[in-house]
Amino acid sequence: MTVITNICPKTRIDGIKNAAATQIICAKPVAGSDYVVSIGSAAGGDFRVGFGDKNKQWDGKPMQTHATGDPTLYIRALNAADTVTVTGVTVCTLEDWQRLQALGLSFFDGDTMPLA
Reference 24, options 70, 83, 61, 69; nearest CA is 70
pTM of the entire predicted model: 0.79
Q: Does residue 109 surpass a pLDDT of 80?
A: no
Q: What is the pLDDT of residues 55-70, one digit of tens each?
A: 888 876 677 887 777 8
Q: What is the 3-state secondary structure (H, E, C) of 17-68?
A: CCCCCEEEECCCCCCCCEEEEECCEEECCCEEEEECCCCCCECCCCEEEECC
